[in-house]
């Protein structure tokens, strides 16, 4: 550590490690009479520094939280020894380099949060083969297609927003139908059509695919997403009629479809209190795109979806 402005680690001296600020101990699994370091929580400490390779000696660690600090560099390979780790939160720091594959070898990991760093390159397909409950990778610099293996993941939440992906949303997403509650893909560079298989996500509560390059019409299969509460498809190139079945979803509270090219909206959609339909091409509605912009789109924009 090179800077500790709040003096969080001021008592980090002497042999009584379990009394250190931010360090939590518990009986060792192989000897209940021995106290071992089971957790580190230095969230919001604004500490700067790097992760030392000797952290790998904490083989009984189950929780490692250092979000909102100024740690930088990469992740040492010795962290592969964290065989008991359940929760990893290193978000809002200055880590860089490729996806830290060392975390793919942790057998008990359930929660991984790498948000707000400077990680880049591809997301390994193996990530979605792990038995995780939540994946947070948003606000990095990943540049790749979303792996087809995403459908293998048993997670309840996936947040990939604000990265530089390309290509389409894989149709394999439908295989997450039994567990997925939250899917946030805002500003990820996605293009093409939404796969019809997305309607199989019947446990989904929140879907945000706004600020992308998606096109085509919204699949009618989305009318099967009975648990959907928040739906945001704004700032895309969707067009045509919005399926009435979407606006009839029993739990839907907010539906934002502004800044698209929809030209027909069922009355049921207009009745939704939490709907935002601005800047589309809907006749007789206020605050819409100009007729010239809508005409240009209809005349020149290709009405087929690029699935590549």
* CA gap 63, 112 in Å, rounded: 11
Whether residue 64 has pLDDT greater than 80: yes
- Give the residue ranges of DSSP H helices in the chain: 244-247, 267-270, 291-300
**Are 87 and 110 in contact, with CB atoms under 8 Å apart?**
yes
CA distances to 161, 235, 281 from 260, rounded to whole Å, are: 19, 6, 8
Per residue in 204-251, pLDDT (tens digit) is 999 999 999 999 999 999 999 999 999 999 999 999 999 999 999 999
* CA gap 255, 203 in Å, rounded: 17
Instruction: Look up residue 241 and give its two tokens.
Output: 């009629």
pTM, whole model, 2 decimals? 0.94
Tell me if residue 111 falls in helix, strand or coil.
strand
* CA gap 44, 127 in Å, rounded: 27
Q: Where are the domains of the chain?
A: 1-117, 122-302
Per residue in 120-160, pLDDT (tens digit) is 999 999 999 999 999 999 999 999 999 999 999 999 999 99
Across the range 51-67, mean pLDDT stands at 97
The mean pLDDT value of the chain amounts to 95
Across the range 9-28, mean pLDDT stands at 95
* CA gap 92, 116 in Å, rounded: 4
Buried b (16+ CB within 10 A) or exposed e, 88-102: bbbbbbebeeebbeb
Whether residue 164 has pLDDT greater than 90: yes
* CA gap 222, 202 in Å, rounded: 9
In which band, very low, low, confident or very high, does the pLDDT at 28 lie, cut at 50, 70 and 90?
Answer: confident
120, with CB counted inside 10 A (0-12, 13-18, 19+), is middle
In which band, very low, low, confident or very high, does the pLDDT at 307 lie, cut at 50, 70 and 90?
Answer: very low
In which band, very low, low, confident or very high, does the pLDDT at 40 lie, cut at 50, 70 and 90?
Answer: very high
Q: Give the pLDDT of residue 224.
A: 97
Across the range 100-111, mean pLDDT stands at 97
* CA gap 175, 305 in Å, rounded: 22
In which band, very low, low, confident or very high, does the pLDDT at 181 lie, cut at 50, 70 and 90?
Answer: very high
CATH topology of domain 122-302: 3.80.10
User: For the domain 1-117, what is the CATH superfamily, name and number?
Assistant: Ribonuclease Inhibitor (3.80.10.10)
């Amino acid at each position: 550590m090179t800077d500790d402005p709040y003096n969080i680690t001021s008592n980090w001296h002497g042999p009584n490690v379990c009394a250190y600020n931010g360090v939590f101990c518990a009986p060792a699994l192989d000897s209940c009479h021995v106290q071992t370091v089971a957790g580190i929580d230095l969230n919001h400490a604004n500490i700067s520094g790097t992760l030392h390779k000797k952290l790998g000696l904490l083989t009984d660690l189950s929780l490692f939280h250092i979000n909102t600090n100024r740690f930088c560099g990469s992740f040492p390979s010795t962290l592969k020894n964290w065989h008991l780790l359940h929760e990893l939160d290193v978000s809002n720091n200055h880590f860089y380099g490729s996806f830290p594959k060392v975390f793919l070898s942790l057998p008990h990991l359930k929660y991984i949060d790498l948000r707000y760093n400077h990680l880049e390159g591809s997301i390994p397909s193996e990530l979605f083969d792990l038995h995780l409950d939540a994946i947070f990778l948003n606000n990095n610099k990943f540049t790749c297609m979303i792996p087809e293996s995403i459908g293998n993941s048993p997670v309840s939440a996936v947040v990939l927003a604000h990265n530089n992906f390309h290509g389409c949303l894989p149709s394999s997403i439908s295989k997450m139908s039994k567990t997925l509650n939250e899917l946030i893909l805002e500003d990820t560079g996605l293009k093409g059509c939404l796969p019809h298989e997305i309607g199989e996500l019947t446990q989904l509560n929140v879907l945000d695919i706004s600020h992308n390059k998606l096109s085509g019409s919204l699949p009618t299969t989305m009318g099967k997403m009975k648990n959907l509460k928040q739906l945001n498809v704004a700032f895309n190139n969707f067009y045509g009629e919005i399926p009435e079945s979407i606006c009839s979803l029993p739990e839907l509270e907010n539906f934002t479809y502004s800044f698209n090219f929809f030209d027909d909206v069922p009355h049921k959609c207009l009745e939704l209190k939490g709907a935002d339909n601005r800047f589309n091409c809907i006749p007789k509605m206020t605050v819409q795109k100009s007729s010239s912009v809508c005409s240009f789109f209809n005349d020149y924009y290709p009405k087929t979806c690029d699935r590549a």
